[in-house]
Structure 1
């Protein structure tokens, strides 16, 4: 057994087979790390410069609408102003129901395509033209595993023609702005899933597959160090 570990050929054989097992994942780790380091996160990935929420504008005496609130839904638990295509609205959370009302106390209907397009143009800060606004029951998966809204259904997708192929998403029922997505975000999420080896959700970075791959990568590094030290001591460099 001792002679087995002393033979360089055995160390090289282990190093080679470990390389076969973990080589592609090592490449994915390196490529992903390079992408994370080079691409600006806030601007290119998060699209902070591409969108700005419209400013809230309240009508005079808007609070008077709260005097005629419905009582059949229980106590009022929370009140929040939100921006929708029809303007500034009020979200009222009761014990048994949540309502979205305009500032005069009337319940808002779901926005149509024209309202969504106008709202999207107000929010968009890029230099591209609006290409398409479409109500989707489900956002298509990209690159085989990337889900832009984590499977959220019933959303408006508004596409703009610019360098990043910017896409703005709005709630299909209320028209509220959800988020902005770009091609850079899709590639970031793709490399992140490869990086943590969670191809379904991209959130579990303590999964068993990642632990096993890390052990193999460590063993490959150890065998490589042993071979390098042996060659160095024997003057083969």
Structure 2
């Protein structure tokens, strides 16, 4: 009886503290498992691109490009982009540099009409690109830094493509579905600032208290089932088994 009362008190009061978070964990888990991750990432809104050979016509040699800019890159990549071939250079210090591989210079500024056109070429679906907005600093939801073009589509998911102002590539996608998923993810890990830290003290404490709630609940369940079993045997006319005084009322 003492164990029953103690378990009930522990279960009740700790559940008051963490019950809402447990609800968020369960509800968020349902949302995150019910929505396919491909839908969250917006993969169903992207056309399947066919691999194309890189056109090397007129490409400037890497040695000439880095010498002209007095660079010592630790990494250099030549890639095809919607605006033509590009050198992606990672210098020993500072941010990576993207250059037009045919001129060795930075790409001309990307205009709104071109950003909308490039995004539309990648988009899959019947919606239209209704706006193109240049962001001097990328929004947190993109997971990027620096300037980006945001192209909005008028589909039911409110899809947004974020386009590189240099190469014209769609570098990330966001939608209302992604934001719903992100909201529950942040509730799940209790990190409302970045949505990335799941080792912080608040989450650890909530998890530990929730474990206590579950364990005390199992104790209560065991005691209750044992008492019900004894009462069932009495009603059946059997001889009750000794239960160390735990069959009294709680």
TM-score by length of 2: 0.77
Corresponding residue number in structure 2 for 1:118: 117
Whether 1:186 aligns to 2:182 is: no
1:54 deviates by 7.9
Whether 1:169 aligns to 2:162 is: yes
1:115 deviates by 1.1
For residues 131 and 54 of structure 1, the distance between their equivalents in structure 2, rounded to whole angstroms, comes to 26
State the SS of the aligned residue for 2:158. Answer: coil
Corresponding residue number in structure 2 for 1:109: 108
For residues 175 and 207 of structure 1, the distance between their equivalents in structure 2, rounded to whole angstroms, comes to 38
Whether 1:225 aligns to 2:218 is: yes
Alpha-carbon spacing, 1:115–1:210, altered in 2? closer, same or farther (3 Å) = same
Whether 1:45 aligns to 2:40 is: yes
State the SS of the aligned residue for 2:149. Answer: strand
Whether 1:74 aligns to 2:71 is: yes
1:119 deviates by 0.8
Q: Which runs of 5+ in 2 are unaligned?
A: 233-250
Count of equivalent residues: 226
Alpha-carbon spacing, 1:116–1:54, altered in 2? closer, same or farther (3 Å) = farther
State the SS of the aligned residue for 1:36. Answer: helix
Alpha-carbon spacing, 1:152–1:106, altered in 2? closer, same or farther (3 Å) = closer
For residues 55 and 74 of structure 2, the distance between their equivalents in structure 1, rounded to whole angstroms, comes to 23
Whether 1:154 aligns to 2:147 is: yes
State the SS of the aligned residue for 1:73. Answer: coil
Alpha-carbon spacing, 1:63–1:87, altered in 2? closer, same or farther (3 Å) = closer
Q: Check whether the contact 2:128–2:154 (CA below 8 A) recurs between aligned residues.
A: yes
Corresponding residue number in structure 1 for 2:30: 34
For residues 149 and 216 of structure 1, the distance between their equivalents in structure 2, rounded to whole angstroms, comes to 34
1:205 maps to which of 177, 198, 209: 198
Which shows bigger deviation, 10-19 or 92-101? 92-101
Deviations 1:106-162 (A, max 9, x none): 54222111111111111112221111111123456xxxxxx4123634221101111
Q: Check whether the contact 2:133–2:149 (CA below 8 A) recurs between aligned residues.
A: yes
Q: Check whether the contact 2:42–2:174 (CA below 8 A) recurs between aligned residues.
A: yes
Corresponding residue number in structure 2 for 1:91: 88
For residues 165 and 23 of structure 2, the distance between their equivalents in structure 1, rounded to whole angstroms, comes to 40
Alpha-carbon spacing, 1:9–1:153, altered in 2? closer, same or farther (3 Å) = same
Whether 1:13 aligns to 2:9 is: yes
For residues 120 and 217 of structure 1, the distance between their equivalents in structure 2, rounded to whole angstroms, comes to 46
For residues 5 and 213 of structure 2, the distance between their equivalents in structure 1, rounded to whole angstroms, comes to 15
TM-score by length of 1: 0.80
For residues 123 and 161 of structure 1, the distance between their equivalents in structure 2, rounded to whole angstroms, comes to 15
For residues 138 and 221 of structure 2, the distance between their equivalents in structure 1, rounded to whole angstroms, comes to 50
- The 5-angstrom pairing of residues 51-70 of structure 1 reads 51-52=46-47, 58-59=54-55, 61-63=57-59, 68-69=64-65
